Amino acid sequence: MVEQGLIRAAQAGDRDALITLLREIEGHVYKTAFYILHNEQDALDASQEALIRVYTKIGSYEEKAQFKTWVQRIVTNICIDKFRRTKPTVSIDEHEMVFPDKHDVEREVLSGYLAEDIREAIDQLPEHHRTVIVLRYLQDFSYNEIADSLDLPLNTVKSYLFRARQQLQNRLQEYQKGGVSG
């Protein structure tokens, strides 16, 4: 959690406070970008763009919303714009399988397939459903924080999450019926 004093100092023009603030949020910004875009390079680009926007717009932040949700709105909007402009790509590096000697290889393989099935199911969701799933389950946002971040009514967020969970459940059941995918 970012201290309000640090935010105020950054808004007042304290360069060291602003740099400290950006360092504190950069991990969360990258994590959100990666979960939405599923590509390291795109996530790095989106993160950098989001941090630059926070840097240049810190003066416009008002304490009406939590700082965390303000930053998430910035990074989410950048990712959505980037996702619309480019087709998703798959990195070959993501699919390398290296197994430690002391682990149960079968469990590692099945776990990898399950994670891939979940990732594929999330990728197939409509953009608005995918975004709320990422914010709720991967970034641990509350319903209210999601609503603030995406500038949506709370009931819309609840509806999107309900439908997204249903779609994920249906898709994952299809994967299970078909056996291990890969």
Q: 147 and 73, same structural domain?
A: no
Spatial neighbors of 144 by CB under 8 A, at least 6 apart, are: 154
- 60-117 pLDDT, tens per residue? 988 877 888 899 889 988 988 876 666 544 454 554 545 455 545 555 555 556 667 7
Q: 120 and 58, same structural domain?
A: no
**pTM for this predicted structure:** 0.57
Q: 3 and 41, same structural domain?
A: yes
Which tokens in the block code for residue 53? 């926007």
Q: Is 96 left (phi over 0), alpha (psi -120 to 50) or beta?
A: beta
Q: 132 and 80, same structural domain?
A: no
Owning domain of residue 41: 1-89
160 within 8 A of 132, measured Cβ to Cβ: yes
Last residue of a domain, one of 70, 89, 108: 89
Q: Residue 60's domain is classified under what CATH number?
A: 1.10.1740.10
Q: 81 and 113, same structural domain?
A: no
Q: 146 and 83, same structural domain?
A: no
Q: How many domains does the chain have?
A: 2
- 15-68 pLDDT, tens per residue? 999 999 999 999 999 998 888 888 889 899 999 999 999 999 998 988 877 888
Q: 109 and 82, same structural domain?
A: no
Query: Which one, of 109, 118, 156, lies nearest residue 137 by Cα?
Result: 118
- Rounded Cα distance between 13 and 26, Å, is 20
- Give first-to-last CA distance, the chain, whole Å: 39
Query: Could you write out the DSSP letters of every residue in 74-101?
Result: HHHHHHHHHHHHS-----GGGG-----T
Query: Which one, of 50, 44, 181, lies nearest residue 124 by Cα?
Result: 181
Q: Residue 159's domain is classified under what CATH number?
A: 1.10.10.10
